[in-house]
């Protein structure tokens, strides 16, 4: 199959590279000449483990190329994927479809024969029908179908998610479109991975419902964690106990400082707006959004309490600022609430993150960046574990505590136990959903 992938952001680039590894001829398109030039040199604009090697392999095999020429890429393509951004629109919380509709119009003008136009971007219910209208308006004589093919890629594990998915969701309206999509995903069909074929609206809704549910699960366990702190329960034991129930499952039950990233915040916001527009308020989703913001604020207060009520004059070492490990993504990360509160309160903040500095330098002004956690902790008054990178899971806590001016620990990912911290020499520590201590 010949595929044109419009957009080389996270979803478009990962999908394009993986489709080429399926054996398809893939052309990735982006308006940014600088980004295309970097990709042609084999430089990856995002951090995703293994993506660089996969890209190089398929470029060398002649299956993968990059261009700014959308018209040339669409000419002769069997399928054209729209994988552009759908950020939250300023002012009303809706998904901004500006880039999607612009791409649809441009694709329509470029069509030279039958193609399936596939929306890979996360879009509100009804968008694919608007895409059809936009393409038809731009090219009244064009022969095409539209399809919805939402992505379910976890940052840091995207290649494995694409190659070994829990399911692939395909929304189509005609047998011809279904045949094209089946041919594209044939390697997965042959290995019996689940393929859910449905109509356009159901495919669009599946994406939003899945992300809203996962965000709800995270927020639920964070709220239970807050209650655990009040009643003396341990959230790790509680999570383990409820996660053994097959109806609940143990994933997304790790208490922390709140969810962030490119998907959950914008998708919950968009789903809430969709509900309001159709006079069917998504009250659970709306509450999840409110509780998540409250969770981030609660983390700030936990740190303030550990610093005897004031950040002023304190030196704070923060380990991890990306919204999760194995990514450089800072979008809606809890650090964007917590670190500015520290700086605004008068703290001297030192930050260590294996991949977060490139974006973080612009998003977190007023902090000092370090490469080594032990260096950052030297003479510090507080150590904060904010992202659970593997590099931070096996630290010599005794070495860190002895180097600090005032050995205080805020483990907001529950990487370590209170017993670990106490035996290492920390004078006080706080965790999420489990008892801290003061020596």
pLDDT digits (tens, 9 = 90+) for 137-174: 999 999 999 999 999 999 999 999 999 999 999 999 99
Residue 88 DSSP code: B
The mean per-residue pLDDT over the stretch 224-240 comes to 97
The pLDDT score that the predictor gives to residue 90 is 81
The mean per-residue pLDDT over the stretch 400-416 comes to 97
Residues annotated within a binding site for substrate:
152-155, 207, 252-256, 260, 324
Q: Which of 18, 228, 263, 307 is catalytic?
A: 263
Q: In the predicted model, is pLDDT for residue 91 greater than 80?
A: no
Tokens of 191: 């290995």
DSSP letters for 365-402? TT-EEES-HHHHHTT-SEEEE-S--GGGSS--HHHHHH
The pLDDT score that the predictor gives to residue 4 is 98
Mean pLDDT of the chain: 96
Number of Cβ within 10 Å of residue 57's Cβ equals 14
Is residue 18 flagged as an active site residue? no
Spatial neighbors of 220 by CB under 8 A, at least 6 apart, are none
At 131, is the pLDDT very low, low, confident or very high (cuts 50, 70, 90)? very high
The mean per-residue pLDDT over the stretch 262-278 comes to 94
Is residue 128 within 8 A of residue 162, CB to CB? The reply is no
The pLDDT score that the predictor gives to residue 262 is 86
Residues annotated within a binding site:
30, 35, 86, 122, 152-155, 207, 252-256, 260, 266, 324, 331
The mean per-residue pLDDT over the stretch 286-298 comes to 97
The mean per-residue pLDDT over the stretch 375-384 comes to 98
At 196, is the pLDDT very low, low, confident or very high (cuts 50, 70, 90)? very high
The mean per-residue pLDDT over the stretch 321-338 comes to 96
Residues annotated within a binding site for NAD(+):
30, 35, 86, 122, 155, 266, 331
Domains of the chain: 2-196 (3.40.50.720), 199-439 (3.40.50.720)
The pLDDT score that the predictor gives to residue 89 is 84
Strand, coil or helix: 325: coil
The mean per-residue pLDDT over the stretch 43-47 comes to 92
The mean per-residue pLDDT over the stretch 182-200 comes to 96
The pLDDT score that the predictor gives to residue 303 is 97
The pLDDT score that the predictor gives to residue 297 is 96
């Amino acid at each position: 199959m010949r595929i044109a992938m419009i957009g080389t952001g996270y979803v478009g680039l990962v999908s394009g590279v993986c489709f080429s590894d399926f054996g398809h001829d893939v052309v990735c398109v982006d308006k940014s000449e600088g980004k295309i030039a970097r990709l042609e040199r084999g430089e990856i604009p995002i951090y995703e483990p293994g993506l660089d090697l996969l890209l190089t392999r398929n470029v060398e095999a002649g299956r993968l190329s990059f261009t700014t020429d959308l018209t040339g890429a669409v000419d002769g393509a069997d399928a054209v994927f729209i994988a552009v951004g759908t950020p939250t629109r300023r002012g009303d919380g809706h998904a901004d479809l500006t880039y999607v509709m612009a791409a649809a119009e441009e694709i329509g003008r470029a069509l030279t024969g039958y193609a399936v136009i596939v929306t890979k971007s996360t879009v509100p219910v009804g968008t694919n029908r608007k895409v059809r209208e936009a393409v038809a308006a731009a090219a009244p004589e064009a022969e095409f179908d539209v399809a919805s093919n939402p992505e379910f890629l976890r940052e840091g594990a995207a290649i494995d998610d694409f190659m070994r998915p829990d399911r692939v969701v395909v929304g189509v309206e005609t047998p011809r479109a279904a045949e094209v999509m089946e041919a594209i995903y044939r390697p997965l069909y042959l290995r019996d991975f689940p393929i859910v074929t449905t109509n356009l609206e159901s495919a669009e809704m599946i994406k939003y419902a899945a992300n809203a549910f996962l965000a709800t699960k995270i927020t639920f366990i964070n709220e239970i964690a807050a209650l655990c702190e009040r009643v003396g329960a341990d959230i790790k034991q509680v999570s383990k106990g409820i996660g053994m129930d097959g109806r609940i499952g143990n994933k997304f039950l790790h208490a922390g400082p709140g969810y962030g990233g490119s998907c959950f915040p914008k998708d919950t916001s968009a789903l809430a707006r969709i509900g309001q527009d159709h006079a069917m308020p998504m009250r659970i989703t709306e509450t999840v959004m409110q509780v998540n913001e409250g969770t981030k604020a609660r983390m700030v207060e936990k740190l303030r309490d550990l610093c005897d009520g004031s950040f002023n004059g304190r030196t704070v070492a923060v380990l991890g600022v990306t919204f999760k490990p194995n990514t450089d993504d800072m979008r809606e990360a809890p650090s964007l609430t917590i670190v500015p509160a520290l700086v605004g309160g008068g703290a001297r903040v030192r930050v260590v993150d294996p991949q977060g500095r490139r974006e973080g330098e612009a998003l977190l002004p007023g902090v000092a960046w370090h490469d080594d956690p032990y260096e950052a902790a030297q003479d510090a008054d507080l150590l904060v574990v904010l992202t659970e990178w593997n590099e931070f899971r096996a630290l010599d806590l005794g070495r860190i505590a002895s180097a600090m001016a005032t050995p205080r620990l805020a483990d907001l990912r529950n990487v370590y136990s209170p017993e670990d911290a106490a035996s290492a020499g920390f004078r006080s520590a706080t965790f999420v959903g489990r008892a801290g201590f003061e020596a």
